[in-house]
Amino acid sequence: MYLKFFVLACISSHSVLDVYAGDCSTRCEWLEWKSWTTCSQTCGTTEKKSTSRSLCCPSDLTDLELCVDYCSLDIADHYDEADCGRECYNGLDICEAIPTDVVFILDSSLSQTQTEFQKQLDFVGKFVDNVDVGPTAFVLSIITYSSTAVVEIEFDDSNSKQSIKDQLMGVQFRPGVTNTNKGLDLARSLLSVRMERRPGMYTKKIAFVLTDGLSNDRTKTEASAKLLKGEAHVVAIGVGPEVSHTELVAIASPADDYSLSYVYTVESFDALYTVLERLIDVSCEKCQPKSLTDIFLLVDDLPDSRMTVTEWQIAVNGLATIVDGLQAFNDENGQRVGIAQFPDTNDPIKQLSLSNTLRKDDILHFLQVMAPSEDTCRGTKDDCVLKSNITSIIQDVIDNQFTSSFGGRDDARKVLLVVSSGRFSNITEVAEQMLNIRLHTDVDIFDIGPGGDVDMRGLKSLVSEPSRVFVVKEDSDMASLDGLRAKFSYIACG
């Protein structure tokens, strides 16, 4: 007869374990996992939960290490742990909210296709997947607008995820002119009659407006938006190159402590998922704003991907726009910014490290005096041997610039923003190397491509997904950075 041993200590201790007399069915067999330990918090914490399991061994082996050696097993297999909590910016998770009425106002105008309209519906479905739906949490209404506005899903018909998903399948594409004001007016009329759903608890109201073009009558749209903002918090999402940023600003609620902006612009409907996390953040009452972020700006000045003079100026102006918009810059728990320009060498030509003594003016002045370096090689490409490449520089920044010796903070979120043309001579190799780099770092990587001649394949090779690439075609296109700027103040749930 063999005895069952129960693990009562952490894996690091490996002490002699308590045992009790009992039958084991098979020698050297792992028994069932014990229940997970209880978390004191379900989110917004670094606390870990753990579980363990026993190993069936001969009675004369009273130590876990001796037992696993005898069985030729791995001691690590007896113990497991997982995070108790989550942070909204670090991946989509179920949002627990107070009662919240959400209306999606979707563009069904002729300026898009049936396929693009379906992407809006898919986007709503993804939102539904990641929030709590029910009478005491989220209920949704869907409105489409073109020549007219139509209520596709009523609030009272959206008390479960499945009911919303089923109804989404039946929402029709109704092409016509872009009468955005009619969609806003209909949303206001629906929200104005909504009452508290739990006694004594305020019911939150949010409207998400999606549009892919200019409204038919801007004056009417702005008037309708003003009335809607009296009923709900309004988030405006502009999709495509024809969107008027001025109109989006007029539609959306003003910035507040939770976000630098409630205006988002994306290049195509495929990029809608860029803002999905932010939308869930906005709707999470139990999530609180945080700005504890270390941001390092890396300007790619390597010969094979060197920016033109025009691209360089757009890049500098884009970075200045981002820095100037950081509302919590250098607060005790706010953002810090470092920056470096890397030519064909492992050492930056110019650099500012993360520091709590830097002012915005210091960084803005640094950007103004930066200039592209001259080619260090005058021969043919075959004659020139690069001392460094974009991936080695990125690795060096990750390894060094976020450390405490360079002003980094251990408890801060870490963001690397690469500015590059993406015109790498070895894009496939870059993609493979970046995949390995991303697997071994907790630094979030984004990139900006300045100008209309950037190589999207190269830019995409640096990041984990296309939505992390932001293209600024010209100085008047800085609105495309709204979604990126908002990421530097994140939401922690707890």
DSSP for 304-344?
GGPPPHHHHHHHHHHHHHHHHT-TTBTSTTSEEEEEEEE-S
Token pair recorded at residue 480: 């495309």
Please state the separation of Cα 371 from the chain's center in Å: 31
Residue 273 and residue 467 in contact, taking contact as beta carbons nearer than 8 Å? yes
Please spell the DSSP secondary structure of 429-471, one letter per residue.
HHHHHHHHHHHT---EEEEEEESTT--HHHHHHHSSSGGGEEE
Q: What is the pLDDT of residue 60?
A: 72
Cα(354)–Cα(369) distance, rounded to whole angstroms?
Answer: 19
Residue 391 and residue 433 in contact, taking contact as beta carbons nearer than 8 Å? yes
Residues shown for the chain: 494
Residue 58 and residue 70 in contact, taking contact as beta carbons nearer than 8 Å? yes
b/e sequence 330-363, b meaning 16+ C-beta within 10 Å: eeeebbbbbbbbbbbeeebbbebbbeeebeeeeb
Q: What is the pLDDT of residue 86?
A: 46
- 204-217 residue pLDDT tens: 888 999 987 678 89
What are the beta bridge partners of residue 256? 259
- 55-102 residue pLDDT tens: 787 777 767 778 888 888 888 888 887 766 544 333 344 555 567 889
Cα(298)–Cα(326) distance, rounded to whole angstroms?
Answer: 17
Q: What is the pLDDT of residue 143?
A: 96
Residues of the chain below pLDDT 50: 1-22, 42-44, 86-93, 378-379, 383, 493-494
**Of 75, 96, 76, residue with least CA distance to 86:** 96
Q: What is the pLDDT of residue 399?
A: 93
All structural domains of the chain: 3-85 (no CATH), 100-287 (3.40.50.410), 291-372+387-493 (3.40.50.410)
